[in-house]
């Protein structure tokens, strides 16, 4: 016994599937771009708008007294170097993105050291938008279908 099946109007069907596939892809690329941009912006803003409730400290070269952040809060910006070195990059296909802090002391701030409690700024930025980004990615797929 043999059963044969044939899709009627196969070319129209394939065209519709390809269009949906392209729409989903386009929506996902847009969602990745938005999520990485917002994560970067939240991290930069958290540094710039830190309440600096950790007291004051004298720094040198040049000599100055600054207000510092409390343990667990985002770092308080002093020179602007940390905030200006938070970059985002997208993969060639646009389906993945990365937010990276290129300041050499970023890891010490994010995770802390033996002598200093952590002052995270990247992970909290991602966590702040996590649910929103999950909804964006789900919507990107649904809207493309």
pLDDT tens-digit map of 85-109: 999 998 888 888 899 999 999 999 9
The answer as to whether 10 is a domain residue is: no
The answer as to whether 87 is a domain residue is: yes
Element (H, E) at 26: helix 10-48
The answer as to whether 72 is a domain residue is: yes
The answer to whether residue 111 scores a pLDDT higher than 50 is yes
Q: What is the pTM of this model?
A: 0.78
Element (H, E) at 66: strand 64-67
The answer as to whether 14 is a domain residue is: no
Give pLDDT, residue 128: 92
Element (H, E) at 122: helix 122-144
SS3 4: coil
HSE at residue 141, side-chain half, CA atoms within 13 A, is 6
**DSSP structural state of residue 78:** S
Question: Percent of the chain beyond pLDDT 90?
Answer: 39
Residue range 45-53: mean pLDDT, rounded:
80
How many domains does the structure of the chain reveal?
A: 1
Give pLDDT, residue 15: 73
Domain range for 24 is 19-144
**The residue to which tokens 């002052």 are assigned:** 119
The answer as to whether 2 is a domain residue is: no
The answer as to whether 108 is a domain residue is: yes
Element (H, E) at 59: strand 56-59
Higher pLDDT residue, 24 or 41?
A: 41
Give pLDDT, residue 1: 45
The answer as to whether 51 is a domain residue is: yes
Rounded Cα distance between 61 and 124, Å, is: 31
The answer as to whether 4 is a domain residue is: no
């Amino acid at each position: 016994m043999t059963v044969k099946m044939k899709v009627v109007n196969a070319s129209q069907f394939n065209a519709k599937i390809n269009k949906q596939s392209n729409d989903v892809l386009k929506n996902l690329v847009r969602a990745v771009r938005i999520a990485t941009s917002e994560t970067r912006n939240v991290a930069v803003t958290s540094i710039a708008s830190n309440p600096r409730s950790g007291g004051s400290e004298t720094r040198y070269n040049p000599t100055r007294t600054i207000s510092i952040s409390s343990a667990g809060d985002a770092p308080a910006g002093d020179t602007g170097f940390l905030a200006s070195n938070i970059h985002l990059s997208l993969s060639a296909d646009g389906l993945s993105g990365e937010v990276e802090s290129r300041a050499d002391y970023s890891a010490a701030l994010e995770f802390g050291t033996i002598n200093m409690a952590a002052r995270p700024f990247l992970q909290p930025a991602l966590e702040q938008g996590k649910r929103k980004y999950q909804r964006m990615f789900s919507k990107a797929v649904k809207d493309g279908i």
